């Protein structure tokens, strides 16, 4: 049996990603230059799994901002962030969100990040268009820019809205167990603490100036993708900038489609992504929720040859034992029935998880039979079942 187990384990590998639509394939892992609405029109309906949008904030800055020493603050005053009125900004928001909703899969989700200048208007438009808000996530900055004029609280956070395509969307991806495990087995909260982009990650030009005024930290995008996507999923960023979304997607085994108007940003993003080394597939395996795993009958272990009739199972400390019968039931003295029923009866309990209670001899020691169930599940995943 040991050789059969070894052979089965050796042949198991993560499932390949499913083929993508031909219309989408030529845009995968590329940047489309142009207006975001026109560019999204090139993409097929319901073709992307996740959208991350970092739209213009419409900061409405009035004049230059200076530090107490009179040095000028390098704030976001680029032309792409300027709109004539709130009405113009709202029309722009509605247009790109309609386009985004068309290309989003029914099981997909969208993340939109903004500041107090725009996020409330964005949220209202999302609800008007039928998006269903799942969370608002606060990005708390460990090193926010000071409030130099001293007339307001220091603005130390930005808000992200996470939404599904509509109220009825129930099968969107949320890797709850993985997020909980990564957070010391405590539920991941909706306030995330990250520094603003700095150090070697911050892209600068030949003069030492920031290439993009609002470059987001890779750690922020990594958490978003790890929480709401799977390896092989397509992530769309309609405001690609210098390519944080693409860089993180490449590293984490996701595909991306970027849209950007400014050639300088496109050049910086392409150079940046060329330097990214993807993680190995084994490092990208994610902790899956139990409810998402296929049901496996104990009898399947016998049918696959992983256990034989007559095998003696024990608990972890060998205090109880039971014999496997050909029909997939166990017998232990006067007790007979399923792995769960017999496990409960020998302990004098009402219930028992037989998969973790019963152990088999793998040749090197005792191992829970749940490890054999995992082999069957990986076989199912590999075959696409």
Burial class (CB in 10 A: 0-12, 13-18, 19+), 170: exposed
* Residues of the chain above pLDDT 90, percent: 63
Burial-class residue 276 by CB neighbours within 10 Å (0-12, 13-18, 19+): middle
- Over the stretch 127-164, which tens digit does the pLDDT of each residue have? 999 999 999 999 999 888 888 778 889 989 999 999 99
Domain with CATH 3.40.50.150 in the chain: 21-61+74-289
pLDDT tens-digit map of 60-104:
544 444 444 444 445 445 554 567 888 999 999 999 999 999 999
Q: Please give the share of the chain, as a percent, with pLDDT higher than 70.
A: 85
State the pLDDT at residue 354.
Answer: 96
Measured torsion, CA atoms of residues 372, 374, 377, 378, in degrees rounded to the nearest 10 = -110
CB of 256 closer than 8 Å to CB of 278 = no
Question: Residue 329 and residue 327: Cα distance in Å, rounded?
Answer: 6
110-128 tens-digit pLDDT:
999 999 989 999 999 999 9
Instruction: Quick: pLDDT tens for 192-222.
Output: 998 887 777 888 787 778 887 778 989 999 9
Across residues 53-60, what is the average pLDDT?
Answer: 83
**At the fourth CATH level, which superfamily is domain 21-61+74-289?**
Vaccinia Virus protein VP39 (3.40.50.150)
| Backbone angles phi and psi of 191, in degrees to 5 | -115, 120
Residue of higher predicted confidence among 35 and 170? 35
């Amino acid at each position: 049996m040991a050789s059969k187990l070894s052979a089965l384990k050796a042949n198991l590998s993560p499932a390949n990603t499913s083929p993508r639509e031909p219309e989408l394939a030529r845009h995968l892992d590329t940047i489309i230059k142009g207006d975001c609405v026109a560019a999204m029109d090139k993409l097929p309906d319901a073709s992307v799994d996740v959208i991350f949008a970092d739209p213009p904030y419409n900061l409405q800055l009035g004049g230059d901002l200076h530090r107490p020493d009179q040095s000028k603050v390098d704030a976001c005053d680029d032309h792409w962030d300027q709109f004539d009125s709130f009405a113009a900004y709202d029309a722009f928001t509605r247009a790109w969100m309609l386009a985004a909703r068309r290309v989003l899969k029914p099981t997909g989700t969208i993340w939109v990040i903004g500041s107090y200048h725009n996020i409330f208007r964005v949220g209202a438009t999302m609800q008007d268009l039928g998006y269903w808000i799942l969370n608002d996530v606060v990005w708390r900055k460990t090193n926010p820019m000071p409030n130099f004029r001293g007339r307001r609280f220091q603005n130390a956070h930005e808000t992200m809205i996470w939404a599904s395509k509509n109220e009825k969307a129930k099968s969107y991806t949320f890797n709850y167990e993985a997020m909980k495990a990564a957070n010391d087995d405590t539920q991941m909260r909706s306030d995330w603490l990250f520094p603003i982009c700095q150090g070697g990650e911050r892209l600068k030009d030949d003069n030492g100036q920031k290439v993009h005024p609002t470059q987001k930290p890779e750690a922020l995008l990594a958490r978003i993708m790890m929480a709401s996507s799977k390896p092989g999923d397509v992530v769309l960023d309609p405001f690609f900038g210098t390519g944080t979304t693409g860089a993180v997607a490449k590293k984490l085994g996701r595909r991306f489609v970027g849209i950007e108007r400014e050639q300088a940003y496109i050049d910086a993003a392409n150079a940046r992504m060329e330097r990214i080394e993807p993680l190995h597939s084994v490092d990208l395996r994610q902790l899956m929720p139990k409810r998402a795993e296929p049901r496996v009958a104990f009898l399947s272990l016998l049918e696959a040859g992983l256990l034989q009739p007559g095998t003696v199972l024990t608990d972890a400390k060998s205090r109880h034992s039971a014999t496997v019968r050909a029909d997939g039931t166990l017998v232990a003295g006067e007790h007979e029935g399923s792995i769960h029923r017999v496990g409960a009866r020998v302990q004098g309990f009402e219930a028992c998880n037989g998969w973790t209670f019963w152990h088999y001899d793998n040749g090197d020691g005792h191992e829970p039979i749940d490890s054999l169930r995992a082999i069957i599940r990986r076989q199912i995943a590999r075959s696409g079942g």
